[in-house]
Amino acid sequence: MIIEELLGALGERVTPPERSRREFAELCRRVDNDPREQQRIDDAAELIDAEEVIYGQALAAVDRRDTDAAEPLLRRAAAAGIGEADYLLAELLEERDPDEAINIHRGILAQGDTRSAHRLELLQASQPSLAEPASAVRDDPGLLLVGETADVGLPDLLPDGPKGDLLGLGEPDLVPLDVPVDLPDLLPDDPAGRDGPDALGSGGSAAPTSRDWMRPEQPGRQSWLEDPGQYPGDWLLPQATEGFSRLEDPGQYPGDPSDAPSQPPYYDGPASFS
């Protein structure tokens, strides 16, 4: 094959041998005379050796189908970029965690291992809810040819609008600030029926509305967001019977009697499911 002949013609040495020898001698002298440099080389070599051992153990675990042992080993080997650890990890995760498997396969495919394209197709066929089809990844020249920097001729997916906006929807009409706008009523009613001035039992200076229970800034009112221990549903937790959050009120752990209200907010007694 002529391409092989072309490539095979490469690789001839260009640096004069004497210069290479001097360079090597200098390298040896530097490392022999500097214990720290020696230690650095030793550490790097030992680290790589250790990673190879981990990869070997991972392969052995995969061979004996010990997936529980294989997964953490493959993760470490994949993080170190060894061999096919990432591909093996993705295969192993296909049943355990399809989302992560898909992510890993996509990364592998971007590096040119087209086996992952097939695995992605299978995965996405079995998990139709998961992301884009594998063909979208496989056919993306920017992924397959990572080094591609020339114009790859991306298709125009979005038409130009009349004002140059991508979606062609034109500029939105801006509303002047002084014009009253009739906004739709988006906030839900108080689900617990606590609307009204006595909803939190404290009242306010302004006439209460049905949304007051959501407004923490009102003076004299307590907000669930500002009052640890009074979050919605907090009273369901055992420690909430003392009325304090363990995380946000140090020193007042459950059992601390100081200032503990006798009942959590909105506590209407034990729930009855009968």
Partner 1 sequence: MTGLAGDPVATQTEASCADARDAEVGNLYVAYRDRIHRYLVVRGCSEADADDIVQETILMVRRSWDAVRGFEKPAAYWYKRATQMRWRIQGKLGKFARDPEEILRSIPDPADRIEQVDLERTLMALVRRLPPRQGGVLWLRLVEGFSVAETADILDIGTGTVKSQLHDARKNFEEIARENGLTWEGDTR
The residues that touch partner 1, with contacts defined as CB under 8 A, are 1-4, 6-11, 13-15, 17, 20-21, 23-25, 27-28, 31, 41-42, 44-45, 48, 51-52, 55, 80-84, 107, 110-115, 144-150
Q: Give ∠ CA 3-8-13 in degrees, rounded to 5.
A: 145
* CB 145, min distance to partner 1, A: 6
For partner 1, the closer CB: 1 or 186: 1
| Nearest alpha carbon to residue 228 among 215, 240, 217, 236 | 240
Q: Give ∠ CA 78-83-86 in degrees, rounded to 5.
A: 35
- Signed CA dihedral, 215, 217, 221, 225: sign only: positive
- Signed CA dihedral, 146, 152, 158, 164: sign only: positive
* CB 151, min distance to partner 1, A: 11
Burial class (CB in 10 A: 0-12, 13-18, 19+), 110: middle
- Which amino acid, residue 44? A
Give the relative orientation of helices 35-63 and 67-79 as an angle to the nearest 10 degrees.
Answer: 150
* CB 61, min distance to partner 1, A: 16
For partner 1, the closer CB: 150 or 187: 150
For partner 1, the closer CB: 31 or 260: 31
For partner 1, the closer CB: 43 or 99: 43
For partner 1, the closer CB: 148 or 259: 148
* CB 92, min distance to partner 1, A: 16
* CB 4, min distance to partner 1, A: 5
